Structure 1
Amino acid sequence: MSTETDGSLEAAAVRDLCLTDSRLQQHEAWEEYLMPAPHSITILTELVLACSDRDFSVNENPPEGSYRFLRNPDSFHACLMQVCNSGWEAFNKSHSSMDQIRLYSAVTPQYLREVLESQGDDEPVQSRLASKLRRIGEISSECVKLSVEPMKKFSKVHGIIKELLKACVDSKRCYKEKEEIVKDAIMENEMREKLAAETKRRTEQVAKDLAEELRQDRHNYDKAMKSYPGRKERIYKCTVEVIAEFFPKKTSRTVKTSITEFRVTQCGVKLEKARELAEKNREDMRMAEESLVETSLALKKCRTREIALASTIDQLVKGLAVLGAVKEKWERMFLFFQMLSNIIKIDFSPQLMDFVVLDDDRKMFHRRLLRDVFLRASISCNQVNMISRTYTEVYSKYLMERVSRLSRLVDMKSRREDETLQTEQLLQAYQRDEEDILELVRKNKAEFERMKLQIEQQMEQNQ
């Protein structure tokens, strides 16, 4: 191989190493993607527990056509359980993928070293060499596939939360409008109740007045009847009237009897009229009472509805706050997996494939250049291993228990007190958890930086 060719290939190796360092620097603070994860799961659990007593619809203003992600928008609790179930699937799938990537990236440097140190052109050696190279190529392809799966899962969860947030915002507006209508109805019914109560009061007063008037009229009637002449007196009255036909003048007793009869008749008419008024008043009282009861029931129903709407709106406000926080924190999880996927696709996999291609044509290239490619591929393997290993450690220590609780939220009536207490304890501990995650990430990053420095020093010694 010519000196000119060697120089150009070495320059390309240096450029690749600089690009690798640049990619590492772009994700220098990737611990920020992982730190909020435990708290996000805990506050989601708290929201599910808080909303387990009463349910409501978030389908008050459905989109045209149908929802893309939400399966049961008529139940806010069902929507939360869909988020929990999808989150549980995303975290479990991510852990599985990260664990496999961790294992692949851990064994790959050994495969690379075995290929680099293989000597001889005999068939057994070449067969083993071909097998190792094929395995390295398979690991490269498999890690690319595995790195994409968590992004797909968290992208789906993101879609569910985003659609649920919009449904909550739209429903909150509708519930607010209903609340205003109910408040207007309450004001109207309060006025009606006040009017009905006043009508009832006046009717009762009229009833008292009529009762007194009826009592007085009965007394007057009875008094008039007592002064009214009996049967003998009425016969005498008639006899006197017959005799009086022959006399120019009636006797004074006849006049008195006529006056008494008129008074009895008048008192009787007045008593009957008082009875009719009392009967009508009793009907008015019955209607006033029914109106007051009906209005009071309507007012009570409106106030109950107002309380229910206020409670629903309060839960929606809390749900929007929590879901918004979960969305923001799980977007960071997506960014974490996107970062790792990009590193694998842009750096890890190409480095492995470069090694495979160069080793296939090792006779054409200087062995020192092949070793440089091996060292750069080793750096990429260690970086991917460090990131995936860190995630599996974070998952095992801080996420697994919380994620498992998400799967238990479907039916927890019998264990609600225990779950609530545990949630409160986890909420209080979230700052300590974030500090522990930060310390873990920094420790693993420091170990990787020391290893990378050693490899770079080896590369300098090869030049």
Structure 2
Amino acid sequence: MASQICANQYDISKAVLNVSRAADVKEEFELQMKSKTNWETYLVPGPMTIALLGELIMISASNDFSIKKNAPKDGYKYIRYLESFRACLMQVANEGYDAFSMAHRNMDEIRLHSMNIPDYIKQIVQILVQGDDQLVQLLLPDHLINMKDISEECTALSAAVENKFSSVIHTVQELLEACVNANKVYQENLEDIQTSIETTKMKEKAAKETKETIEKQMNKMEKFVDEAHSQLNTALNSTPSGLDMVVIDLIHGIWDGFTTLGSSIANICTGKRSAKSKCNTVRREDASENKQVCHIDEIPIYLKSNILLQYAFRLTDYLDKDKKLDMQKVYDARRDIVTSDWIKAGFDEVHKNMAGEHDCAPKHLALEICRMGIHVCNELSALAKSNKGNSNDNTKITEDIQELLNKAETFNSLNKKTTSAPAFIPQSPNMVNMPPRTGGFQSERLCQFKIEQTKQQMRFAQESYDKTFEAMKKANEELNEIIVSMQKLKVKEVDFDKTVKMLIKGMNALGNVKEQWEKMVRFFQMISSHIKICLNKSVKQLGNTSKTILKSVTYTSNSFVRDLIYQQAFQACNIANHVHMISETYTEVSDLYIMDQVSTLGRLIALNPNNSEFEKERAKLAKGCTKAQARILEIVKKKKEEFENKTDMRVKKLETELQPLIRGITPECKKQIEKNVSAGMRPLTTDELSQFC
């Protein structure tokens, strides 16, 4: 029987390795991010925005007037021609042309730069697996510096385009403000303009705050590296000898926390912070929709969920197959020790570290889990010392252990939903050859739990993608209506009312493009942060004495540091891969369907609107933009189908390769796991929003 359990556990461990290969985890990360940064969706309005700029040139031929009246005392910062509304429209068209041209050039450079990062990662892994610390210290910094240089160059390229689009938006915004100040706006348009300007300013403020909080959190990444070492030392110093594989499980929990850190910051970098944390604040950008925003100070709290889950699972090791307490495992009579004391020490440390964290509902839940864990450990210790291990009082403790595990699973699922961290993480080079645990039921439950988490994550990713797609179509239809109505008019038929409406729509469309470039800047800042920590801290730590910490599995402290470097480099590569896919998509779409229209816009700018050739070029631009938009929409639909197929394939791979090996989970247990995952991942109700947010 024991040999069958070991054989099955070996098969499960092998299957877990197979479904958590680096390529699989990268793709799952890509799927999680795809629903928030699908650039092809945001490129759909591109051609019509260019057509809109072309219409502004046409409008500039109509009756001109001054917008200088009632200008601010210090003047305007962006618009340059207050004496001529016509000239201001031409300024907007020119700046829009420059922005789209720069976007294409810079994104192509980003594509070329980012395609080199995976090669550096391969070389880094080859160095790390050699096990030679001097070789790592000698060769690794050069590769890391190359990656750092690439990320900083790409940051500058992204920031330049972001600033360019921001400048166009500011010009349009000031133009609308000038129209209001000059009393050129009818009352019915005044509210629309003021709302649009206010929304733009709020988005700018939110973007600035997001940038500051992300920088703040990335600066804390070094602190997390120190905490990782602290958690490892606590486990080593308090774990009884002979439990080396338990320590390996805890190390997996530390890696899981590091993946959570990377995913959570990347999730916030997308600017679409839709996590349903129970203490999230609510920002109302639209009267019809509540958008929940994850507070960045909650991230360190969620990082604790992985290690708390491991401690909760370790307590279930004291239960037999009938879920009854096995006191022989709790109390080691030969050495006269209570073997659960090290778990209590772990709960104590997490509880202590939580003291200075942000006060919110996730913190309260984490503290409750710590208190429950400490209470259970105290009860186990009291039973062992009073020799009452065989009494009927054990039922309460077993129930408490099960309840603790349920809460830990729910908290961990809340973490996965909030941070978009994958359930399965890649094995580090020095860990991949470690022998599998023989935990039987506990290991099977953990696998079943992660399968259920992945299913839910893939479902939520699809739902998020669908919502983005529908919102894009609606916004695009509104923009099209404005453009089509303008294209039907002659120069003399254009009135100021229609011009204002078009400027508002144009500003919103350009704002969406700018927001995507903001995300690119943040992504590259993340890559730089990971690399800086590797260079400034982790590589230097390899100079420490190579002290063996797990003799039976020959895992040293320097092995831990090398694996830590791998995890940091892998996170950087994850982001780089995502950025490269974005840049490839953008460059391909822009090259095929946007730059031709930009070139036509350039010719239109050079022509006099009263020239007979102007109407021909205007018609050519309109026709080309309509055709390009239709082609881009076809690409979007194709990409959406590919996305849905990939999410389905990810779930199917788990169900076919791993699920059949999990034979010890009862229907009741499986149902409880599904309940725990759903409790952590489900959207909050209106009452809960009012209660917690």
Report TM bin, short chain: 0.5 to 0.7
In 2, the alpha carbon distance for the partners of 1:321 and 1:68 equals 23
In 2, the alpha carbon distance for the partners of 1:411 and 1:368 equals 59
- Residue from 160, 163, 166 that aligns with 1:149: 160
- Residue from 396, 418, 423 that aligns with 2:591: 396
Q: Does the aligned pair in 2 maintain the 1:55–1:75 contact within 8 Å?
A: yes
* 1:231-257 deviation per Cα after TM superposition (whole angstroms, max 9, x unaligned): xxxxxxxxxxxxxxxxxxxxxxxxxxx
In 2, the alpha carbon distance for the partners of 1:91 and 1:30 equals 15
* 1:120-139 deviation per Cα after TM superposition (whole angstroms, max 9, x unaligned): 97999976544322211212
Task: Report the CA distance between 1:34 and its aligned residue.
Answer: 2.4
- Residue from 365, 368, 372 that aligns with 2:559: 365
RMSD of Structure 2 on Structure 1 (CA): 4.1
- Please tell me whether residue 95 in structure 1 is matched to residue 274 in structure 2: no
1:325–1:434 Cα change, 3 Å: farther
Higher gyration radius (CA)? 1
Aligned to 1:334: 514
Segment of structure 1 superposing worse, 381-390 or 118-127: 118-127
- Please tell me whether residue 435 in structure 1 is matched to residue 633 in structure 2: yes
Letter matched to residue 322 of structure 1: M
SS at match of 2:604: coil
* 1:195-228 deviation per Cα after TM superposition (whole angstroms, max 9, x unaligned): xxxxxxxxxxxxxxxxxxxxxxxxxxxxxxxxxx
In 2, the alpha carbon distance for the partners of 1:400 and 1:441 equals 21
- Residue from 621, 625, 630 that aligns with 1:423: 621
- Larger helix fraction of residues: 1
**1:8-157 → structure 2 map (5 Å cutoff):** 24=33, 27=36, 31-52=40-61, 54-118=63-127, 129-157=140-168
- Please tell me whether residue 160 in structure 1 is matched to residue 358 in structure 2: no
In 2, the alpha carbon distance for the partners of 1:156 and 1:147 equals 14
In 2, the alpha carbon distance for the partners of 1:421 and 1:26 equals 35
1:127–1:39 Cα change, 3 Å: same
Task: Report the CA distance between 1:386 and its aligned residue.
Answer: 0.8
1:173–1:50 Cα change, 3 Å: closer
In 1, the alpha carbon distance for the partners of 2:520 and 2:648 equals 20
Q: Does the aligned pair in 2 maintain the 1:362–1:370 contact within 8 Å?
A: no
Q: Does the aligned pair in 2 maintain the 1:58–1:74 contact within 8 Å?
A: yes
SS at match of 2:184: helix
Aligned to 2:528: 349
Q: Does the aligned pair in 2 maintain the 1:386–1:444 contact within 8 Å?
A: no
Segment of structure 1 superposing worse, 367-376 or 122-131: 122-131
1:448–1:165 Cα change, 3 Å: farther
Q: Does the aligned pair in 1 maintain the 2:37–2:516 contact within 8 Å?
A: no
**1:180-219 → structure 2 map (5 Å cutoff):** none
Q: Does the aligned pair in 1 maintain the 2:62–2:492 contact within 8 Å?
A: no
Q: Give percent identity, aligned residues only.
A: 30
Segment of structure 1 superposing worse, 381-390 or 142-151: 142-151
**How many residue pairs end up in the alignment?**
307
In 2, the alpha carbon distance for the partners of 1:441 and 1:29 equals 9
Aligned to 2:604: 409
Task: Report the CA distance between 1:32 and its aligned residue.
Answer: 3.8
Q: Does the aligned pair in 2 maintain the 1:111–1:132 contact within 8 Å?
A: yes
Q: Does the aligned pair in 2 maintain the 1:390–1:441 contact within 8 Å?
A: no
SS at match of 2:116: helix
Aligned to 1:382: 577
* 1:112-165 deviation per Cα after TM superposition (whole angstroms, max 9, x unaligned): 211221359799997654432221121222222222222211111111000112
Unpaired stretches in structure 1, ≥5 consecutive residues:
1-12, 177-310
- Residue from 503, 509, 529 that aligns with 1:323: 503
Task: Report the CA distance between 1:378 and its aligned residue.
Answer: 2.5
Task: Report the CA distance between 1:328 and its aligned residue.
Answer: 0.7
In 2, the alpha carbon distance for the partners of 1:101 and 1:445 equals 23
In 2, the alpha carbon distance for the partners of 1:122 and 1:372 equals 17
1:318–1:174 Cα change, 3 Å: closer
* 1:362-400 deviation per Cα after TM superposition (whole angstroms, max 9, x unaligned): 572345554444433332211111112222222212221
Q: Does the aligned pair in 2 maintain the 1:101–1:388 contact within 8 Å?
A: yes
TM-score, with length taken from structure 2:
0.39
1:428–1:394 Cα change, 3 Å: closer
1:86–1:172 Cα change, 3 Å: same
In 2, the alpha carbon distance for the partners of 1:141 and 1:387 equals 18
Task: Report the CA distance between 1:85 and its aligned residue.
Answer: 1.8
Aligned to 1:285: none
In 2, the alpha carbon distance for the partners of 1:90 and 1:409 equals 16
Task: Report the CA distance between 1:323 and its aligned residue.
Answer: 1.0
Aligned to 1:220: none
**1:250-269 → structure 2 map (5 Å cutoff):** none
SS at match of 1:173: coil
1:373–1:65 Cα change, 3 Å: closer
In 1, the alpha carbon distance for the partners of 2:82 and 2:649 equals 52
1:396–1:80 Cα change, 3 Å: same
Task: Report the CA distance between 1:80 and its aligned residue.
Answer: 1.5
In 2, the alpha carbon distance for the partners of 1:418 and 1:42 equals 14
1:154–1:445 Cα change, 3 Å: farther
1:153–1:325 Cα change, 3 Å: same
Letter matched to residue 321 of structure 1: K
In 1, the alpha carbon distance for the partners of 2:165 and 2:571 equals 31
SS at match of 1:68: coil
1:114–1:376 Cα change, 3 Å: same
Segment of structure 1 superposing worse, 101-110 or 134-143: 134-143
In 1, the alpha carbon distance for the partners of 2:80 and 2:618 equals 27
TM-score, with length taken from structure 1:
0.56
In 1, the alpha carbon distance for the partners of 2:529 and 2:31 equals 16
Q: Does the aligned pair in 2 maintain the 1:165–1:320 contact within 8 Å?
A: yes
